[in-house]
Structure 1
Amino acid sequence: MSRFSRRDLLRAAGAVGAGASAALIAGPAHAGTGDRRDRAEDQKSFFVAMDGKDSNRGTQAAPFATPEKARDAIRAWRQGAPGRATAPVTVFLRGGTYRRTRSFTLEAQDSGAPGRPVTYAAYNGEQVRLVGGVDLPATGFEAVSDEAIRNRLPAGSRDIVREFDLKALGITDYGQIVQTGYGLPRTVTPPELFFNSEAMTLARYPSTGFLAVGQVIDPGGNPRSVLGDPDKMAAEFAKGATFKYTDPRPSTWTDTSDVWMQGYWFYEWADGNLQIKAIDPAAQTVSTKTASMYSVKAGQRYYYYNVLEELDSPGEWYLDRATGKLYLYPPSDLTGASVQLSLLADPMAVLNGCSNVTFSNLTFEGSRGDGIVITDGTSNTVADCTLRLLGGRAVTIGDTSVSAGPHGGSGNEVRGCHIQATGQGGIALAGGDRATLTPARNRAVGNEIHDYSRLQLTYSPAVELAGVGNHVANNHIYDAPHVAILFRGNDHVIEYNEINDVVKETNDAGAIYAGREWTGRGTVIRYNFLHDIVGSGGSHFASGVYLDDCFCGTTAFGNIFYKVDTAFQVGGGRDNVIRNNIMLSSGRSVTLDERGLNWAAANVAPGGAWGMYDMLAAVPYQEEPWRSRYPNLVNIADDQPAYPKYDVVEYNALYTVAALSIAPSARTYGTVDHNLTLTADPGVVTVVDGKPALGNDDLIAAQLPGYQRIPMKRIGLS
């Protein structure tokens, strides 16, 4: 994982301009008395520095020590004179590493005004790091001397592994590993170790790859089968599983009291972890304390982790919570290395009911939870920040767990940020009013997001959308085991993004994904470049755009697919439009099935497991503005809702990709026409230095009347 990204290089190119902007915000260094009086009424600057004191005045010469003091100083300053309540204010943080032991919290009183924000920014291009953990000095790592521990370590590791006494630093809260995964609520992760800004791996077996579940003696509970009933689900989770292990290694471990397993226990798109209850070496079985969401199935992939006896590879580590000793197999020389342990469990910054607040050019890192959480906020901006090495998400705006997307506010933006190595996703954008279809217009624009689901492997997207009318544009998203963009709700726009090398560890999944809702209509997916998306193999495949399980009303226009397993997978939905797309050098082009008429018929029916009628009843789909906006939804219940009606597949160009696969009922009730299969490479994608780059669509436009040119130069990071 490179420490310098494409986004970093673009930012460096503009560093001179950024410094000039900072100087303009700060105002002139020397001004007359009249100028100072005007500035006191119109704007104010405060400074925070590593060598500052909160008893200082907060000037550049006498800075504060904490952003909390600057926040409180703004509150006091505003009360000093009329007009200050809406004056723009800037808090400049001087370069350095600021250890955070609590959330930096802003409330409604800390808001700015439209066009006159309260800004927290790095001063003049200096590097400002807000760190939710503690540095472990290299001198504190010592050889392992305890013979009992040495005997548990692999023979080849005993003289390499180093131990660190956390209690000697006063660290006594080590958190706990808890059950997480598909279908479970997001939780705070246990502490993690970072070495030179790289996440280390809890000692695991095997060190890479997976094992296969052997014969299943007891599959355990199936919580998913009683979804929606908390008491029954809890009862199912309490039923642990038992299965045979095919590799005898667990029989050699001394202590399995805190050993866990990570796996895809039933489906290749649903990950989760399970704590071991017992290992029976004689029977070669392992039993778990709780159930997986779908129970356990033979042949599925998993590995063991948090095993001291498997500390055998560079970059692996183990934390003994009973003794407070941390053990590390150093990935390189410890001398001069930066070693951090994440400790902060709360979000690093919380904006609660704030408006017009900006974070600019700051780094948030090394924390167990989210980077920034914005609730019920308006016109807040996170710009040109780095958010990395976090256990949760980078930025959470509102609640994306339900289609309504509550508490997202409006007009918030995450722009030009570098988001890297987060545990549970990148950016969450909620907001808008589904009853009135009022858009929130929250945006994620021009961000570089990668390696963003290290801990929660599935359904932890780079960008997640809910509510109404949010916008995702010009981001570069890459390197992840599962989905890139997940959306629910209505009328979102997903455009000009480059997405590659996602869905790397899973299948039956999509880079851009939505599923199981008739009412989630109006989203437009246009002018995106998706490439090198091939999945992990198996009977299912990775898709570029996946409208799963009867999802409806999405328009995909002008997207480019190159080396993608399946460009479009449409799972029996209605009113979807696939128009003017280019599919190149891929496996499948468009697959549009009629699952609602066969294997999924019971799920779609009234009272079915997917709850389609319940979700329909939850929105005013027969009233305005729904009635005018989505006319085919008004009478859906009386219009053979299980049929894939009114889908449109037209004006698409295909080259070295399988032909369209459209179910008979979709052809009968929809439009499939004016699609072009090319016999020669149209020159849309060329490979430069091993990387695909966009060319032009002149040859397609010449051969396909009605086709509209794609603005390729606008695609990607901006």
Structure 2
Amino acid sequence: MRFAIVVAAHLVAAATATGVAGYTSDVLHVSPDGRGSLCTAQAPCALTTARDRVRQEQGDVVVELSGGTYRLTSAFTLGPQDSGRPGHSVVYRAAAGQHPVFSGATRVTGFTKVDAAKNIYRAKVPKGSESRDLFVDGTRAQRTRSAVNPPGFSTTATGFTTADGSYADWTNQSQVEVVNDNAWKQMRCPLASITRNASGGSDLMVDPGCWNNNHSNVPNPGFPFNGAGLPTLNGISWIENAYQLLGTPGQFYLDGAAGYLYYVPRPGQNLAKADVELPTTQELVVTSAARPATSRRSTTATGGPRTPAVGVTRTAGRWAISAATCTTPAPTGTPSATPSPAPASRCCRRPTPTRARSTSTWTAPRRRRSPLPRRNALPSRRS
């Protein structure tokens, strides 16, 4: 089993410079545009290059990250081989005064207007991109969707039907999703197809596997309910990600198969200058070791891909996780109400929880044999 730091596709892990007292270490320097294998202050290397260099070191090692955005197309992984040698430690930290950011988002540029009547712009993205989120200048855009509780739908053996025949004319039907808010659950399934029926209406066939799991073959365990049980997907609260629904300012449509992102700018937005971020990488940092990683000045993140947790903020399609603030109340009789820093032993050396943990300074554990903690499932929330 592994202890994983799991943070959603469209997130940021922010490191804050922290002094590590008592270390006489080799220092490897990293930057977002680092290259080569020297890993010096004058010639920094890439993050993964430094990690691989650490594996060859024999003593204490510090990896210092310079400021900037480290764009990750896959998770940065740290395993048992990245632990310190017996009697030695490995520390990842921000360089003094620097603010490195891990981002799982793709920055999108090169928008051109493709529909003057609806003010729709389009830009290229990597083919196969998948995301339900987009951020423009730090503001979350809405995935194109229908009105809430669209009228006229009824349930069939394979999905839904309606007398409205216009749905059958929609393009990229397999990228369309139906969403159902039912009691305490939100369920969503992609469509397999939309066909015109004999009466001129539209039959929406839901992906068979998703339909089976959420409608046809849902267990009924009785009380207490669980995530796999009732209620079922038996209605449509809204429909998402259809190009034909696009036209409202602040909405986007992603055609991942063709590699295009469509967006209707809000008043005042200039897409030639805007910072457009499309989150695509769900896991940013994953650790697996002989025992959980210890850390200094850490923030515990318990959320899933779209769930903020204590100490977590979201900007420009990314999650910013700041270092924890460890404080103790001012002594009785002290005029100042400002809390004072707590000893590191109170804030930073408590046992690592089995939930996801994001750290401002990550210290790889010394190698030892011990059982791994059980990894808890991360909570989910409605999109």
Which residue number in structure 1 is paired with residue 111 of structure 2?
Answer: 141
For the Cα contact (< 8 Å) 2:161–2:204, is it kept in 1? yes
CA distance in 2, matches of 1:65, 1:317: 36
Q: How does 1:241-256 map to 2 (within 5 A)?
A: 241-244=159-162, 248=164, 250-251=166-167, 253-255=169-171
Which residue number in structure 2 is paired with residue 711 of structure 1?
Answer: none
Amino acid at match of 1:215: S
CA gap 1:64/1:273 in 2 versus in 1, 3 angstroms: same
For the Cα contact (< 8 Å) 1:103–1:349, is it kept in 2? yes
Amino acid at match of 2:91: T
- CA shift, 1:308, in A, is 0.8
1:214 to 128, 138, 153: 153
Q: Number of paired residues? A: 304
- CA shift, 1:340, in A, is 2.3
Q: How does 1:519-668 map to 2 (within 5 A)?
A: none
Amino acid at match of 2:159: A
- CA shift, 1:322, in A, is 5.2
2:278 to 337, 341, 348: 341
For the Cα contact (< 8 Å) 2:154–2:235, is it kept in 1? no
CA distance in 2, matches of 1:389, 1:113: 32
Unmatched segments (≥5 aa) in structure 1: 1-11, 28-38, 79-83, 145-149, 176-188, 221-239, 356-376, 395-414, 427-439, 448-466, 471-483, 487-502, 506-718
Which residue number in structure 1 is paired with residue 141 of structure 2?
Answer: 200
1:45 to 24, 27, 33: 27
CA distance in 1, matches of 2:274, 2:302: 18
For the Cα contact (< 8 Å) 1:203–1:307, is it kept in 2? yes
1:283 to 198, 201, 205: 201
Q: How does 1:115-264 map to 2 (within 5 A)?
A: 117-137=89-109, 140-144=110-114, 150=115, 156-157=117-118, 160-166=119-125, 171=126, 173-175=127-129, 190=131, 192-206=133-147, 209-211=148-150, 214-216=153-155, 218=156, 220=157, 240-244=158-162, 248=164, 250-251=166-167, 253-255=169-171, 257-264=173-180
Amino acid at match of 2:237: Y
Amino acid at match of 1:134: T
Which residue number in structure 2 is paired with residue 328 of structure 1?
Answer: 263
- CA shift, 1:386, in A, is 10
CA distance in 2, matches of 1:136, 1:267: 37
Whether 1:418 and 2:333 are equivalent positions in the alignment is no
Question: Deviations for 1:515-549, whole angstroms, at most 9, x for unmatched residues?
Answer: xxxxxxxxxxxxxxxxxxxxxxxxxxxxxxxxxxx
Root mean square deviation of aligned Cα: 4.6
CA distance in 2, matches of 1:264, 1:121: 44
CA distance in 2, matches of 1:326, 1:132: 17
Q: TM-score, normalised by structure 2?
A: 0.62
Larger gyration radius, structure 1 or structure 2: 1
Whether 1:273 and 2:171 are equivalent positions in the alignment is no
CA distance in 2, matches of 1:201, 1:109: 42
For the Cα contact (< 8 Å) 1:317–1:329, is it kept in 2? yes
CA gap 1:205/1:253 in 2 versus in 1, 3 angstroms: farther
CA gap 1:66/1:304 in 2 versus in 1, 3 angstroms: same
- CA shift, 1:59, in A, is 3.0
CA distance in 2, matches of 1:50, 1:203: 33
- CA shift, 1:44, in A, is 2.8
CA distance in 2, matches of 1:310, 1:253: 12
Which residue number in structure 1 is paired with residue 40 of structure 2?
Answer: 59
Question: Deviations for 1:176-206, whole angstroms, at most 9, x for unmatched residues?
Answer: xxxxxxxxxxxxx547533224443332112
CA distance in 1, matches of 2:101, 2:76: 14
Bigger RCO of structures 1 and 2 (CA < 8 A, at least 6 apart): 2
Which residue number in structure 2 is paired with residue 75 of structure 1?
Answer: 55
Q: TM-score, normalised by structure 1?
A: 0.36
CA gap 1:162/1:385 in 2 versus in 1, 3 angstroms: farther
CA distance in 2, matches of 1:47, 1:64: 5
